[in-house]
Chain A
Amino acid sequence: MTEAKKSEVLQGTLDLMILKTLHALGPQHGFGIARRIEQVSRDVLQLNEGTVYTSLLRLLQQGWIVAEWGLSENNRKAKFYSITPRGEKQLAVETENWERISGVVGRVLRLEGEG
C-alpha cells in the first residue's frame, strides 16, 4: 500500500466540478468528463466514475445541462452533455459559495493549527 490514500469526493462538489468542466471544455461525453476530472485532480480524488452519471442526471433534471446524441472522436455513438445558460448562472453562484466556504474553513483550520 504505497499509494497515498485518495480523498472521497465531497457530496455536492461533483456537480460543481462537472458544471465547471462543461463550462471550460464545451460539450463532452461522460467518459470525457471523468477523464478531465481525473486529470485536473491529479489523482488526488477517488472517483467512482459511475457517480458522474448520477450527477449528470441530476443536472439534466435541474435544467443546468442538456444532452444530445453524437459521434465520439473514435466514431462511436455517444451522448454529449453541454451547459445551459441557467447552468452558467448556477456555476457562478456555486463557485462563489464554494470559495467563500473554503476560505472560511481554511481560516478556521489555520487557527486550530496555531492554537
Chain B
Amino acid sequence: MAGRGMSRMRAWAARARGFFGRQGRDGQFEDELQEHLNLLKERFVAQGMSSPDATAAARRQFGNTTLLCEDRRELRTLVSLEDLGRDFHYAVRALRKSRGFAMVAMVTLALGIGASTAIFSVIDNIMLSPFPYKNPGEMVFLRVVDTQSDSHGRQGYTAPEYLELAEQNHVFSATTAAAEDLVLYKHGEGTDQLYGAHVTPGTFEFFGMPAMLGRVLQPADYEPGAPPVFVMRYKTWVTRFDGDPSILGKTMVLNETPRTLVGIMPPRFGWYEADVLIPEKPMRGAKSSFAGIMVNWFFLGRLKPGVTKEQAEADATVILQGLARVNPQAYPQHFTVKAKKLGDTVVGQFEATLLTALAAVALLLLIGCGNVANLMLARATARAKEFALRSVLGAGRARLVRLQLVESLVLALGGAAIGVLIAWGGLKGLVAALPQNVIPAESVIELNAPVLAFTLGVAVLTALIFGLAPALQAARRDLNDPLRDSGKGVSGGFQTGRLRDAVVVVEVAMSLVLLIGAGLFMRSFVALRATPLGLRADHVYQVQLLLPRSRYEKAAQMRSFFEPLLARLKAVPGVVEASESSSIPPYGGVESRVEIAGKTHAEDWHALIQHVSEGYFRVLRIELKLGRGFTETEVNDARKVAVVNETFVQKYFPHQENPMGQRVRLSMLQSMGDPVAEPWFEIVGVVGDVTNLGLQAPTEPEVWFPYTVTGSGAQVLMVRTKHDPALIANELRRAVWSTDSGVALDHPSTLEDRINARVFAGPRFSFLVMTIFGCVGLVLVTIGVYSVLAYATARKTHEIGIRMALGAERRDVLEMVVRGGLGLVFAGIGVGLAVSLVLGRVITAQLNGVPAHDPATLAGTVLVVIATGAMACWIPARRAARLDPNVALRYE
C-alpha cells in the first residue's frame, strides 16, 4: 500500500514538475534518449560500421525522437497554453462543420444564461451595489431598539439627539442627517407637491458627489441670514421641468419661502428620495413639527476605518443612554442602539422574491445544460469513430477530454454572447414589471461590468457542467468497438443511453419544480386578486391633498376648505359622490388605544381610527350592517359620533350586546397636533369589514369618525364617478385649486390603479417571472425529450426494420417508442414532485392563501408536463412507425 501511494504521489509530482518546469525536465528526458542513441551507435561501430552508418542505423532502430518527446509532454503536463489555443482553433472548426448542432446548443444555453444575467443584473443593481456614493459600505444608520419588545425600533432623532451623536461619537469619520419635509411648490397655475428633505451641513461632502449642473450646498448656505437656496434631484428636474437647464438660478416658492435653485444632482444621486434638498442646521431648542408629528432626523454615519458596526452600536448606546437619563420619557425603559448598513433600508421582503427568481433561473440554466449535454453525448456517440481514430493515432486520454471541454467552452461562450443580448432586451421588460417602491432611488438597473463578469463565470461553469459527462464518456471509450460498430442494432451503447436517459429524467424533474413554482405563484396571485376588499374600488378616483400648514392646522380650518370643495365636486357632472378621508384602501387609519364605556379589560384594546366625511361609505360602497352612516349635519357640526366595523363588534362586544349607542374612547386623538379634549364617541352604525392592513393581513378593528373633529392627520379626496374615473382628473384639480390654489395634489390616480401599483405589483412580478421561466423551461424540456427519443429511434432504425420484417405492427413500434419516452417523463415527474415538496417550504412565506403543496397546482402541473412529454414522444414514435422495413434494413 505504501509503495502504491508513494508511486502515485511521485507520478503527480512528476506532472506538477512537468507543468511548471517543462524546459529542464524535457532536457533531461532528451538526454536520456540521446544517451540511448549513443550506446546503440557505439554498438554498431563495434560491429564494424562506419560512424555515419552507425548513426543512421541507431536512429532507425530507435524510431522518431521528436514524437516521443511530444508523447511525454502529453503524459506529463496537466495543460499548456499553446495546446489550449490549438484546441480552441480545432473546436471552432469542428463546430462550424455542424452548424445546426452548434446553433441549437448555443441558443438553448443563451436562454438560460440570458435569463440568469437579467435576474442577476437586477440583484446586483438593487441588492448588492445600489449606491453610487463613496464607500457606501461604511455608511450605517442607527436604530433605537427596545430590548424588551420585538419592535422595529425608531430611526428618527430629534435635533439635540442628532447633535449629541454627531459631536460626541468616537466611531464616525463623518455624519449627516436628513429630515422629511413635504414641500408645497406654488407656481402660476396652482400648487404642486414635492418631496423635500432638509439636509445638515456637510451632507454632500459626506456622499462625495458633486453637482451635475451648478453647485451643491456649501457651508455658507447654512449661515443665518444667507440667501435661501436649494438643490434638485435629476429625476425631478427631468420629469417636472423637462430637463430645462435654464431653471438653474431661478427662484421658486417652496413652502411659502422663495428659494434659488443652485444645483442639479447627477442621475444616480437619490439621497432620501428627495425631489429637493434644502439646507437646514439642526439646532438645540428649535421645535418644529408637521401635522402634529415631530420633525425627525434620519441619521447616517460613516464608520472610521477599522471600526466595526458593534463598536459603533456600543458608542451610540452610551451617548443616547446619557440623554435618556435627562429625558427618560423619550426612550424605552431598556434600550440599545443597533447600527444597520445603508442598504438595509430598502428591498426588504423583495429580496426573497429576487432570490427565488435567481433559483428559478438556475434551474432553467441547468435544464439548458441538460439539453446541450445530451446533444453532445449524442454527437459524441456519432463521433465515436473519430475519437477512436484519434486515440489510435496517439491522442492521449487527457487530450481527448480537453478537446471536448474546449468545444463545450466555445459553445458556452457563444451562448453567453447571445445570452447577453437576450438579457439586454429582457431587462427592459423586467424593469417595467418591477414593483417601484422596493428599489433604492439610486439604483439604475443595467448590464455592467460585475454583471458581465457574472455571465462569463456562468458560461464557464455551464461548460463544465454540460461538457464533463460527454468528455469523460469520450475518454472512457473502448478503442476497438466504435471502429467496428456501424450503428446497426446497437442503441448507441448501453452506457451512453443510460446517461442520456438520466439527463432527461433530471430535466423533467427540474422543469416540474419550476412549473409548480410558477403555478403556486399564479394561484397565490389569483387568490390575492380575489381577496374581498369589502368595498368597490371601480369608478373611484383618489388623491392625497397637501394643505399649507400655516393656514390649515385646526379642525375648523380644514372644514372651511373641504365643505365648499365637496359641494363643488358633487355638482360636477358625472360625479356620483365625493368624500374626505384620512387614508386610502386597502389601508385603514392610524392605530389608537380604545376604551369602551363600562367595560374593563386587562390587556390594551386597539383599533385603527380614520376620519371621513359623510359620503365615504357611499363612495366606496361599503356595506352598512347596522344603524346608519354619518349625516351631513353630524359631520358639519363635528359631533362625536362613530361607525365601527364588524371585527370591532366581534372583538369588543363578544356577547351579542347591541353596540349601537355605546361610547368608545379614541385615546390617540388626545395627543395629536390638534388634540381632541374628551375623545369619547357614540357608535351610530356598524359596517362590513374593509381590508385595512393590506390584503395579506387579517382585518383589524376599525373606527371611523367625522373629519371635522380634528385638523391632524392626512387628507385624502375620494370621488365616485359614473363613467371612467380617470376623466375626472382635470375637473378635480380645477375644483381643488379654485377652492384654494395653495393646496397641492399628491399622486392623483384611480383607486384601482393605486391598488394595482402598491399591492399587486410585487406578487405580479413573482408570478410573471416564474411563469415565463416555467414556460421556457417546458419548451427546453420538450426539445430535450424529443431530441433524445429522436436520436434513439434513429439509432434503432435498423432494429425497428428487423422487428417490422419479423411481423411487428406499426402500433407495436409506436408503443415501444412512446413507452420508452414516457417512462423517462414519469420518472422525472416522480423526482420533481419529491423535490418540490421539499423546496415548497422555502417559498411558503411568499405565497398568499395557497399551501406550498396545493394539490390542484400539483395535479395541474403534472398533467401539463405529461401532455407535453407525450407530444415530444409522439413525433419520433410516428416517424419510427412509418418506417419502411426495406429502407430501414438498408439504413446505414
Contact = CB atoms under 8 A, between A and B. Distances in A.
A binds B: yes
A48 B33 CA distance: 13
Interface in B40-64: 40, 61-64
Interface of B: 3-4, 7-8, 10-11, 14, 29, 32-33, 35-36, 39-40, 61-65, 67-68, 71-72, 75-76
A61 interface: yes
Given A58-B75, A60-B11, A61-B75, A53 B35 contact: no
- Secondary structure of the A contact surface, majority rule: helix
A50 B63 contact: yes
B7 A30 contact: no
A57 B76 contact: yes
9 contacts: A30-B32, A47-B61, A49-B63, A50-B62, A53-B29, A76-B35, A79-B32, A84-B3, A85-B4
B62 A57 contact: no
A66 interface: yes
A50 B3 contact: no
Candidate in B7, B35, B71 with the most chain A CB atoms within 10 angstroms? B7
Contacts of B4: 63, 84-86
A30 B36 contact: yes
A57 B75 contact: yes
B68 A50 contact: yes
A58 B36 CA distance: 18
Contacts of B76: 57
A54 interface: yes
Contacts of B14: 60-61
A56 B20 CA distance: 22
Contact of A48 (B7, B8, B32, B62): B62
Nearest to A78: B35
Given A30-B32, A50-B63, A50-B65, A86 B71 contact: no
Nearest to B479: A11
A51 interface: yes
Counting from the closest, the 8 A-B pairs by CB-CB distance are A63-B7, A48-B63, A50-B63, A85-B3, A86-B4, A49-B62, A31-B39, A50-B62
A57 B71 CA distance: 9
A72 to B, nearest CB: 9
B10 A63 contact: yes
A91 interface: no
Contact of A51 (B3, B10, B63): B63
A34 interface: yes
A84 B35 CA distance: 25
Given A49-B36, A50-B33, A78-B35, A86 B65 contact: no
A64 B7 CA distance: 8
Max chain A CB contacts within 10 Å: which of B4, B33, B40, B72? Answer: B4
Nearest to B4: A86
A48 B61 CA distance: 6
Contacts of A62: 11
B35 A31 contact: yes
Contacts of B11: 60-63
B61 A49 contact: yes
Contacts of A61: 11, 14, 75
Contacts of B72: 53-54, 57
Contacts of B61: 47-49
Contacts of A84: 3-4, 7
Contacts of B75: 57-58, 61
A86 B3 contact: yes
A73 to B, nearest CB: 11
- Residue in B3, B65, B76 with the greatest tally of chain A CB atoms within 10 Å: B3
Contacts of A49: 36, 40, 61-63
Given A48-B63, A57-B72, A63-B8, 5 more contacts: A49-B62, A50-B33, A53-B33, A61-B11, A85-B4
A23 B35 CA distance: 24
A31 B31 CA distance: 13
Interface in A22-68: 30-31, 34, 47-51, 53-54, 57-58, 60-64, 66
Given A48-B63, A58-B75, A53 B7 contact: no
Interface in A58-115: 58, 60-64, 66, 76-79, 84-86
A31 B33 CA distance: 9
Contacts of A34: 36
